[in-house]
């Protein structure tokens, strides 16, 4: 658990995730709300699907919202009126975003929500009251008890704009308090830039020659998880034993996720602290995950999460992140003279440039090229901060290729 900051519509927001201790009455209200959110999500999803396949029309936010109003009048769904309407509207809003992402080819098709997974409900300002560091949700008379784990932050001084209550499959309750932050904290200039090559053998290799290995304890926790998953598979469906086995899988899962998140946070924080400019390759994780054998290795590495952390942390601290095109031949180009090899086998860990004779470590050389490509983007300008993408000529290859600034740049120059 910790502070999470993320980038949202170019506003920097900070979120505090706290452990909740609801009373049995409050837990009942929340469970009922989760159920309603799930039903609203699933029914709206089914309705959209039917419209899309039957009438070939896409559903917009206004239409989906109107459908929610209609559902509340259905005889079998009258109980939707018993919970706060705010989380139900938020569910429609999130589904709309999920569909925009799907139609823009940025995400998978939104899925049915299961009662066995993580449950959540999001409250905007009209659905909760935050007063003197206490949180009261709509349809509740008393504040929710929670554990505050930041001794140097006074909760009474905060002004959350959104509260997301959730329950994980192990039955733990959380609330994530999100708030807008007016000004990013400017870190002192570090006077250094770095290129980062993400890999499978090592988690990452930097242009400074540092190899960041995947932590060993992660592999051990993953073996535990696999063990519990196999045990669960052998239990009969619907049996008490299976329920117990599922709880163990959920707990092992949470440990793997927490260990991975911890590693990614430490690594990204260090990179952002020590460098003014960070350049990474756009790996299109989603496309690569389609490749089965690589899929597990990649999703385990958490590259997508790592990139999002770099995005919001660079934005928060006034650093700069540049994402260079993934078709860029970073491995096969000599970072010393620019010579481009015709081919380089995946097993070749080192190679010697036939043109200038420099000996290269495969991954460090790739990271150096990534940094050079990023510097070229950085040098060509201030316009990168306004346009989402710009075509630039790279320093190392003779054809134009697109590059993107990964996050809004809050401060000019390095």
Q: 135 or 353: whose CB is closer to Zn ion?
A: 353
* Minimum distance of Zn ion from residue 339's CB (angstroms): 4
Residue 401 C-beta: closest distance to Zn ion, Å: 20
Question: What pairing do the DSSP bridges indicate for beta strands 320-324 and 277-281?
Answer: parallel
Residue 405 Cα to chain centre, angstroms: 17
CB of 357 vs Zn ion, minimal distance in Å: 7
State how far the Cα of 365 lies from the Cα of 167, in Å rounded to an integer: 45
Q: How many CB atoms lie within 10 A of CB 345?
A: 6
Q: Which of 122, 276, 311, 363 is catalytic?
A: 363
Q: Is 71:103 a contact under the CB 8 Å cutoff?
A: no
Least distance between Zn ion and beta carbon 354 (Å):
8
Nearer to Zn ion, 268 or 365 (CB): 365
Q: Judged by CB under 5 A, does residue 334 bind Zn ion?
A: yes
Residues 240-299 that bind Zn ion (CB under 5 A): none
Is 39 near Zn ion (CB under 5 A)? no
The answer to whether 168 is a known catalytic residue is no
Is 364 a residue that touches Zn ion (CB under 5 A)? Answer: no
Provide, rounded to whole angstroms, the least separation between the CB of residue 268 and Zn ion. Answer: 32
Q: Choose the catalytic residue: 197, 222, 311, 325.
A: 197
Q: Of the candidates 46, 233, 356, 379, which one interacts with Zn ion according to CB under 5 A?
A: 356
366 binding Zn ion? (CB under 5 A): no
The set of residues, in sequence order, having a beta carbon less than 8 Å from that of 398 and lying 6+ positions away, is: none
Nearer residue to Zn ion within complex by CB, 287 or 354: 354
Please select the residue that binds Zn ion; options are 68, 138, 259, 336, rule is CB under 5 A. Answer: 336
Strands in 125-220 per DSSP E: 128-131, 134-137, 145-147, 162-167, 173-180, 193-198, 204-206, 211-212
408: Cβ–Cβ under 8 A, 6 or more apart, which residues?
A: 7, 10, 315, 385
Q: Which of residues 60-119 bind Zn ion (CB under 5 A)?
A: none
Question: Under the criterion CB under 5 A, does residue 339 sit at the interface with Zn ion?
Answer: yes
Assess whether 276 carries a catalytic annotation. no
Q: Is 337 in the site for Zn ion (CB under 5 A)?
A: yes
Q: Looking at beta carbons only, is 357 or 381 nearer to Zn ion?
A: 357
| Nearer to Zn ion (CB atom), residue 66 or residue 356 | 356
Give yes or no for residue 139 binding Zn ion (CB under 5 A): no
Torsion 235-236-240-242 (CA) sign: positive
Count the helices and strands in the chain (H runs, E runs): 9, 17
Concerning whether 185 is annotated as a catalytic residue, the answer is: no
Q: Which long-range contacts (CB under 8 A, 24 or more apart) does 42-47 make?
A: 42/112, 42/113, 43/71, 43/77, 44/68, 44/71, 44/91, 44/92, 44/95, 45/95, 45/110, 45/112
Q: Which one among 355, 379, 389, 393 touches Zn ion, defined by CB under 5 A?
A: 355
Which residues are near Zn ion by CB under 5 A? 334, 336-337, 339, 353, 355-356
Q: Where in the sequence numbering do the catalytic residues fall?
A: 197, 281, 363
């Amino acid at each position: 658990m910790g502070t999470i900051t993320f980038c949202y519509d170019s506003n920097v927001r900070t979120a505090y995730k706290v452990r909740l201790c609801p009373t049995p009455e409050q837990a009942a209200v929340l469970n009922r709300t989760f159920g309603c959110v799930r039903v609203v999500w699933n029914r709206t999803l089914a309705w959209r699907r039917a419209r899309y396949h039957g009438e070939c029309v896409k559903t917009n936010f206004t239409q989906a919202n109107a459908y929610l109003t209609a559902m509340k009048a259905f005889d079998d769904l009258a109980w939707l009126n018993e919970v706060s309407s705010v989380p139900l509207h938020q569910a429609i809003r999130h589904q709309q975003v999920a569909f925009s992402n799907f139609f823009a080819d940025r995400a998978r098709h939104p899925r049915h929500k299961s009662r066995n997974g993580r449950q959540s409900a999001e409250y905007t300002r009209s659905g909760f009251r935050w007063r003197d560091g206490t949180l009261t949700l709509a349809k509740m008379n008393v504040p929710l008890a929670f554990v505050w784990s930041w001794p140097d932050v006074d909760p009474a001084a905060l002004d959350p704009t959104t509260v997301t209550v959730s329950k994980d499959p192990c039955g733990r309750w959380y609330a994530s308090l999100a708030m807008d932050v007016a000004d990013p904290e400017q870190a002192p200039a570090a006077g250094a830039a770095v290129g980062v090559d993400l890999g499978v053998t090592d988690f990452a290799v930097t242009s400074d020659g540092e190899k960041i290995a995947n932590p060993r304890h992660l592999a051990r926790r993953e073996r535990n998880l696999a063990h519990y998953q196999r045990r669960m598979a052998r239990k009969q469906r619907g049996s008490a034993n299976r329920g117990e086995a599922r709880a163990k899988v959920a707990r092992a899962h949470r440990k793997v996720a927490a260990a991975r998140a911890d590693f990614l946070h430490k690594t990204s924080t260090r990179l952002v602290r020590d460098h003014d400019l960070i350049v990474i390759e756009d790996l299109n994780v989603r496309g690569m995950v389609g490749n089965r054998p690589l899929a597990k290795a990649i999703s385990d590495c958490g590259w997508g999460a790592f990139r999002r952390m770099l995005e919001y942390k660079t934005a928060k601290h006034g650093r700069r992140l540049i994402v260079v095109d993934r078709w860029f031949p970073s491995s096969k180009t000599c970072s010393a003279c620019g010579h481009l090899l015709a081919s380089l086998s995946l097993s070749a860990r080192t190679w010697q440039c036939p043109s200038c004779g420099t000996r290269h470590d495969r991954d460090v050389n790739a990271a150096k090229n990534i940094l050079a490509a990023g510097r070229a983007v950085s040098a060509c300008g201030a316009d990168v901060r306004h346009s989402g993408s710009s075509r630039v000529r790279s320093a190392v290859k003779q054809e134009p290729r697109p590059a993107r600034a990964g996050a809004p740049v809050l401060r000019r120059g390095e």
